[in-house]
Amino acid sequence: MNEWEFNLLEDKPGLMSVMINGAEVKPGDRVRLRPREGGDIFDIALAGKIATVESIEQDYEGQCHVSVVIDDDPGRDIGMMRQPGHRFFFGVSEVETMMQPPAAELSTPKTPAILIAGIGNIFLGDDAFGVEVVSRFANRELPPGVHVVDFGIRGFDLTYALIDGADVTILVDACPRGGTPGDLYVIEPDLRSPAAEQAPPSVDAHGMNPMSVLRTAQAMGGPLKKVLLLGCEPQTFGPEEGQMGLSEAVSAAVERAVPLLESVMRRVLSGEWPLKPGA
């Protein structure tokens, strides 16, 4: 049944919740899409995507269908307004709750879920470092459980991704620390440090302060397990009117950052890093 047919059922009240693999799923919950094999082009494109449940509907035969809006869809706000084109329907068997591991991982040993988050503003010179690194890294074949997302300056989206609770989040961003432009750092931010305490738990819709985003996710009860930062010393953020493109030093650093990120990811997957408290 497609969305146009579901429009005929708009006067039929939606369900408050539905049980999926023993877990109660309600509108507003996050799910992972696992469309059945042999579906259409949308099923292929949306497989594995994270989505928000907009409503739970029943067809004329009493079958439940989950209406979802894709989290990384630029038009998700339109979908939440129940408009066509940004709202998709899946059977109960085609979605997984965020609490359960992907089906492909159920029979394998538990490995860390890793979120690699690119951060930066492409209109502010070297601030685009993180965006450029993850755009190259995302083209690689990644192990199960590793998700690479270009968040740009979408602080709200990163906050909710952190609340979803990856075992390890690796932020990739320009990081001024007083070094030489192009220097790379891999550090574990301490949210209890004085500098972190000064970052207010708030999110700017038009910018991205990673420490503020972390504090916000923490304030919202997010299970921040481990956070690493792969940073690069910037040379310039450009003039007041903005600047497209990286400086020569930071552009060269991108080439070194991609294999470094690969190394950090592999060490996390093997359990070598981050170090446990007291190690």
**What's the CATH code of the domain at 25?**
2.30.30.140
Domain boundary among 97, 128, 153: 97
Q: Considering the domain boundaries, does residue 4 fall inside one?
A: no
For the segment 83-106, the average pLDDT, to the nearest whole number, is 70
What's the CA gap between 72 and 61, in Å, rounded? 32
Q: Do 78 and 133 belong to one domain? A: no
For the segment 10-26, the average pLDDT, to the nearest whole number, is 75
What's the CA gap between 104 and 173, in Å, rounded? 31
Specify the CATH number for the domain of residue 224: 3.40.50.1450
Q: Do 62 and 132 belong to one domain? A: no
Question: Of the candidates 129, 111, 108, 105, which has an alpha carbon nearest to the alpha carbon of residue 261?
Answer: 129
Burial 17-56 (b: 16+ CB within 10 A, else e): ebebeeeebebebbbbbbbeeeeeeebeebeebbbbbbbb
Q: Do 184 and 254 belong to one domain? A: yes
Question: Of the candidates 187, 172, 185, 180, which has an alpha carbon nearest to the alpha carbon of residue 136?
Answer: 172
What's the CA gap between 93 and 173, in Å, rounded? 38
What's the CA gap between 184 and 250, in Å, rounded? 9
Q: Output the CA–CA distances (angstroms, integers) from residue 71 to 30, 95, 149, in the order listed.
A: 9, 14, 11
Q: Considering the domain boundaries, does residue 277 fall inside one?
A: no
Q: Do 20 and 153 belong to one domain? A: no
Percent of the chain with pLDDT over 70: 74
Q: Considering the domain boundaries, does residue 102 fall inside one?
A: no
Q: What angle do CA 101, 208, 114 make, to 5 degrees?
A: 20
Residue with the bigger pLDDT between 124 and 86: it is 124
Q: Considering the domain boundaries, does residue 73 fall inside one?
A: yes
Please name the residue that has the structure tokens 């910037």.
234
Q: Do 140 and 226 belong to one domain? A: yes
Q: Considering the domain boundaries, does residue 228 fall inside one?
A: yes
Q: How many folded domains does the chain comprise?
A: 2
Could you read off the pLDDT of 126-145 as tens digits, one per residue? Answer: 999 999 999 998 888 888 88
Query: Which residue blocks in the chain are alpha helix, DSSP H?
Result: 3-7, 41-46, 76-80, 129-137, 155-163, 194-198, 210-219, 248-269
Question: pLDDT value at position 14?
Answer: 65
| Count of Cβ atoms closer than 10 Å to residue 174 Cβ | 24
Domain boundary among 72, 97, 122: 97
Confidence of residue 155 (pLDDT cuts 50, 70, 90): confident
> In this model, does residue 42 exceed pLDDT 80?
no
Confidence of residue 103 (pLDDT cuts 50, 70, 90): very low
Q: Do 75 and 144 belong to one domain? A: no
Residue with the bigger pLDDT between 271 and 170: it is 170
Question: Of the candidates 61, 64, 83, which has an alpha carbon nearest to the alpha carbon of residue 17?
Answer: 64
Percent of the chain with pLDDT over 90: 22
Residue with the bigger pLDDT between 275 and 127: it is 127
Range of 59-73, 133-147, 153-167 with top mean pLDDT: 133-147
Question: pLDDT value at position 170?
Answer: 92
Q: Considering the domain boundaries, does residue 109 fall inside one?
A: no
Q: Considering the domain boundaries, does residue 128 fall inside one?
A: yes
Question: pLDDT value at position 130?
Answer: 93
Confidence of residue 276 (pLDDT cuts 50, 70, 90): low
Q: Do 260 and 133 belong to one domain? A: yes
Question: pLDDT value at position 32?
Answer: 87
What's the CA gap between 165 and 100, in Å, rounded? 12
Q: Do 83 and 179 belong to one domain? A: no
Residue with the bigger pLDDT between 85 and 26: it is 26
Q: Output the CA–CA distances (angstroms, integers) from residue 120 to 17, 85, 177, in the order listed.
A: 38, 29, 16
Q: Do 120 and 202 belong to one domain? A: yes
Could you read off the pLDDT of 235-252 as tens digits, one per residue? Answer: 999 888 788 899 999 999
Q: Do 132 and 230 belong to one domain? A: yes
Question: pLDDT value at position 23?
Answer: 82
Q: Considering the domain boundaries, does residue 47 fall inside one?
A: yes
Q: Which domain holds residue 69?
A: 10-97
Q: Do 59 and 133 belong to one domain? A: no
For the segment 155-183, the average pLDDT, to the nearest whole number, is 85
Q: Do 223 and 144 belong to one domain? A: yes
